[in-house]
Amino acid sequence: MKFTNRLSTETSPYLLQHAHNPVDWYPWGEEAFAKAKSEDKPILLSVGYSACHWCHVMAHESFENERIATLMNTLFVNIKVDREERPDVDEIYMNAVQMLTGRGGWPMTVFLTPEGKPFYGGTYFPPEDRHNIPAFPRVLAGIAQAYREKPADVSQSTAEILSRLEQLARREQTTRPLDVSVLEKAVEGLAQHYDETHGGLGQAPKFPNTSVFSLFLRHAHATGNRHYLDMTIHTLRKMAQGGMYDHLGGGFHRYSVDERWLVPHFEKMLYDNALLARLYLEGYQASGDPFFRQVVEDILAYVEREMVSPEGGFYSTQDADSEGKEGKFFVWDQDEVMRILGDEVGEIFCRYYDVTDAGNFEQKTILHPTLELEQLARLFRRDVDDIQQLIGQAKDRLFAVREQRVKPGRDEKILTSWNGLMISAFAEAYKILGNPDYLEVARRGIRFIQTSLCHEGRLLRSYTNGQAKFNAYLDDYACLSVALLDMYEATFEPAYLDEAVALTDVLLDRFWDAQEGGFFFTSSDHEALISRSKSAFDGAVPSGNSVAASVLLRLYYATEQQDYLTKAETIFRLFYDALEQNPFGFSNMLCGLDLYLRRPKEIVLLGDPVAPETTALLRNIHGNFIPNKTLLCFDPERPPQQGVPSLLEGKTRIEDQLTAYVCHNFACSLPVTSWEELQALVTPTRH
């Protein structure tokens, strides 16, 4: 029997996946709440996203089951939410679930009063009792009975949760001075969790933790302590040699289920690949290792091939599953590899990538190199260059075969914040690697947001199939502002800086908490929810407050507007105690605090931004890891229309040559005209 519910008119690919469930799903909105109130029924809120493997499992087991669906329809008003479209809803109720159960994750299942107040919740529930998890039908019956027969208990539970949600949003600014010792204690504490054998932090499951390793690189640069550089380089190499990395198609899967980076959860997220591209660029700058450059180029090639819409926006995710099986698209068996490559090349390839008859994942093999090319060459008594060419050609042949397989589903929703992250990655790659195609991809991404995700002066969150919707959130404004600043430093086109200023001013106007400081996740004219959160925890994606703090600092140095610096200081003071107690949860904010406390090298170039000599000098600047820097380039032949920043006062060119100044800690250098002189000025002075 074919069912169709209210989700059939939605644009979210995740919601559309549930449009033909026998569950009478409602999208989040007034209609569902009005029905719950009129019938005095509790609400079942189910939150997930399209690339979530266990979301698909629960959908198949329970939401496609007519018996369970009938129970849901009889006892509840059922609401389905795409967490990527509505992170505001997701964050509030995930906080509630974590309070109730001590853990969280997706699929998220929360039971609400008709007013939207949570009183019970969890994550995945199986269709029958399994692994000490109660069966979903039993949970449904018990919750409905409790709602009917124990209203006082429900009322007490909601009151406690709401009180704790309010406490989460309340913080006090520290009265202590902001001190660099906090950075030192943070990296020392984080380093205690380092896996000396496999890299990364902790054991299984293992996530990339990009902000932590970016913080390590900053600390190594500032202090000269190579241990933090070595930990990062080791981790980057191990990640890219593991099965979490797609050795044929480029790009990283979401995380590894084991400590060796071997077996991934196979979904590919846009934000992971954006953040990892930037981290590998930093690793390349800091080490000069060409392997890291290749990883970046492969990530971005994957994104261009699979994740860019015809209009220039970036799609959100690629699923773990294809043909109903997790990882099927990505894994191989030995017979198939040998048949495609032939005996000689096949034997070499299988030895290099650990392809065996037994396999390493459900009798199949996840490709991952187990030895260096030099070792492989010695083993087969071949020249290293020959082996490298042979492996490259073999990968190309297997990739071509893999392209004929049924591909994993793709969530073609385009999210402003994640697009901002990826635009930044392409802009940084252009600056560091010099490929003009990267700049064009970034430009198209910016133009797409300007034309498709802006409406009547407002930034919007999500775009799918020609329709943009939902007011943008804090992270949308903050991540897009970073992208614009990165584009400004890549091109020195004033329009990018002007737009970053305009977006940040909207943030300050509509998101800033005038009473306690910091940014709310939602704007002042957003839909009223049961709580207005103030997100600062850096998870897989950096928090809006941590990104916004860095934006404010960078804009202060670019515009000299004191209010930007004041607001950034307020954010750091607001979360200072929390980041000191839990550096892992505030690793990106610690990177911002590093910029604030150590202050940037303010590099000013006087000359034509597009002249060959300027391009050559910029290539040298960007080729070096200088994490805390700002770049301004002014052509004396074309003075700025908005007046001259004080940083430029009294600065002139030497004999009409391209001339550079470096300012730091309220003092400026003498003018220099060569990279060797400039390099000495931007290299840290250590005592």
**CATH value at residue 422:** 1.50.10.10
**What length is written for the chain?**
687
Question: What's the one-letter identity of residue 566?
Answer: T
- Asked if 558 and 485 count as a contact pair (C-beta separation under 8 A), the reply is yes
Confirm if 202 and 619 have CB atoms less than 8 A apart. no
- Amino acid letter at 54? W
Residue 687 lies in a domain: no
Count up the domains in the chain and report the number: 4
Q: Has residue 386 been placed in a domain?
A: yes
Please give the biggest Cα pair distance in the chain: 87
According to the model, what pLDDT value does residue 640 have? Answer: 64
Q: In this structure, are 314 and 336 located in the same domain?
A: no
Burial (CB count within 10 angstroms: exposed 0-12, middle 13-18, buried 19+), residue 93 = buried
Which has the closest alpha carbon to 215: 586, 517, 623, 670?
586
- For residue 483, CA distances in Å to 162, 220, 439, 479, 609 come to 36, 26, 12, 6, 19
**From the CB of residue 611, how many other CB atoms can be counted at a distance below 10 Å?**
12
Q: What integer pLDDT is reported at residue 170 of this predicted model?
A: 84
- Return d(Cα 98, Cα 93) in angstroms, integer: 9
Q: Write out the residue range of the structural domain in which residue 134 sits.
A: 6-169
**Domain of residue 358, CATH code:** 1.10.10
Task: Give burial (CB, 10 Å; 0-12/13-18/19+) of 504.
Answer: buried
Residue 202 lies in a domain: yes
**Residue 652 is part of a domain; what is its CATH number?**
3.40.30
**Does 633 map to a domain?**
yes
Same-domain pairing of 98 and 153: yes
Same domain, 449 and 526: yes
Q: Are 440 and 544 members of one domain?
A: yes
**Which of 463, 471, 596, 452 lies closest to 521, judged by CA?**
471
Last residue within a domain, chosen from 563, 598, 633: 598
Angle among Cα 370, 375, 376 to the nearest 5 degrees reads: 75
In a domain, 178, yes or no: no
In a domain, 176, yes or no: no
Q: Are 211 and 282 part of one and the same domain?
A: yes
For residues 242 and 256, the answer to whether their CB atoms sit within 8 Å is yes
| Domain co-membership, 10 together with 106 | yes
- The answer on 337 and 238 residing in a single domain is no
Question: Residues 290, 425: one domain?
Answer: yes
- Domain containing residue 144: CATH number: 3.40.30.10
Are residues 456 and 581 part of one domain? yes
67 in any annotated domain? yes
What pLDDT score does 1 carry? 67
Query: Do 350 and 299 have their domain in common?
Result: no
Strand 601-606, strand 629-634: pairing: parallel
Question: What is the pLDDT at residue 652?
Answer: 83
Pair (46, 15) in one structural domain: yes
In this prediction, residue 457 carries a pLDDT of 82
Q: Does residue 317 form part of some domain?
A: yes
- Last-in-domain residue among 541, 564, 598: 598
Residues in the chain, pLDDT under 70: 1, 639-645, 686-687
Residues 531 and 644 in one domain: no
CB 479 within 8 A of CB 550: no
CA–CA–CA angle 565, 571, 577 (5° rounding): 135
For 531, counting Cβ atoms within 10 Å of its Cβ (0-12 exposed, 13-18 middle, 19+ buried), the class is buried
138, 169, 200 - which closes a domain:
169
Q: How far is CA 222 from the centre of its chain?
A: 25
